[in-house]
Amino acid sequence: MPLATQAFLELQDIREGILLLRNGGLRGVLMVSSINFALKSDEEQTSIIYAFQSFLNSLDFSCQIVVQSRKINITPYLDTIKNLEESQTNELLKTQTSSYVDFIKELVKDNNIMTKNFYVVVPYALTEILGVGATMKQVKNLTDEEFEKCKSQLWQRMEFVAMGLKRCELDVIPLTTAELIELFWSIHHPGEAEQGYFPEILPELLK
């Protein structure tokens, strides 16, 4: 019998915007914007490079940079155009709108247009609170007080990382529980995500 996807994930739970791993680790995820480095002046480029170098040198813990490439989802845009088409009273405009929808579909299909999202994963180990001798039972049965302590320490790290990246002219926001669920779901269901389909639970969580 095939195993469910969950059996292969290191992820145990998502709680208050925090990833809890099976091995006792915690992770916070920051979504980071991009900048068009090539359009910056020489002085601006140098300033950004030095700011990023300074940020890396200031870290006393490891971070993971994740780049997610996904086919662009044009479903919401096409739905808007189709609604506009249906509301058209001028037959010529209605025909042109329909042709435009077909054109956009073919453009995306033939050119494989991609969108990229950038994330920084910030780690924290439960052993830093529970001690190096912590057992897996302790990890799986984390008390509310222990979780709050770990969350506080992890958030301090995330804020430190966010401040360093903002000095590099980047926008940074932490992902919420709902956004983390959507991210993991889309990773394991890329086809549905590219078409704009999400299970009913996701729209409710993302409100």
Give the pair of three-digit tokens for residue 80: 């808007």
Question: What is the predicted pLDDT for the residue at 206?
Answer: 46
Average confidence (pLDDT) over 170-193: 84
Q: Residues 33, 163: contact at Cβ < 8 Å?
A: no
State the DSSP H helix or E strand holding residue 114, giving kind and residue range, or none if neither: strand 114-125
Residue 21 has pLDDT above 90, yes or no: no
Query: CA–CA separation, 21 vs 134, rounded Å?
Result: 14
pLDDT exceeds cutoff 80 at 167: yes
Q: Which pLDDT does position 63 carry in this prediction?
A: 93
Paired residues of 119 in beta bridges: 31, 66
> Which of these, 77, 70, 140, lies nearest to 104 by C-alpha position?
77
Check whether 1 has a pLDDT greater than 50: no
pLDDT tier, 192 (very low <50, low <70, confident <90, very high otherwise)? low
What number of H helices and E strands is found in the chain?
9, 6
Give mean pLDDT, residues 158-178: 94
Model pLDDT for residues 68-111, shown as the tens digit of each residue: 887 777 777 778 888 888 888 888 888 888 888 888 877 777 66
Interval 123-156: pLDDT, tens: 988 776 666 555 555 556 677 888 888 889 999 9
Cα distance between residue 84 and residue 93, in whole Å: 10
Beta bridge partners of 14: 19
Give the residue, 15 or 24, on which the prediction is more confident: 15
- Bridge partners (DSSP) of residue 160 are none
Q: Quick one: what percent of the chain has pLDDT higher than 70?
A: 78
Task: Retrieve residue 109's tokens.
Answer: 């299909």
**Minimal CA–CA distance to 125: which of 94, 101, 146?**
146
User: For 22-77, how does the pLDDT look when each residue is reduced to its tens digit (9 = 90+)?
Assistant: 877 889 999 999 989 889 999 999 999 999 999 999 999 999 999 988 777 777 77
Question: What backbone torsions phi and psi does residue 7 show, to the nearest 5 degrees?
Answer: -70, -20
Instruction: Give the whole-angstrom CA distance, residue 22 versus residue 118.
Output: 24
Token output for 56: 């890396």
Q: Buried b / exposed e across 8-30, counting CB within 10 Å, b at 16+?
A: eeeebebeebbbbbeebbbbbbb
Please tell me the distance from the alpha carbon of residue 88 to that of residue 68, in angstroms, as a whole number.
38
Among 9, 10, 24, which Cα is nearest to 150's? 24
38/190: higher pLDDT: 38
pLDDT at 57: 94
Task: Name residues whose C-beta falls within 8 Å of residue 169's C-beta, 6 or more positions apart in sequence.
Answer: 35, 48, 51
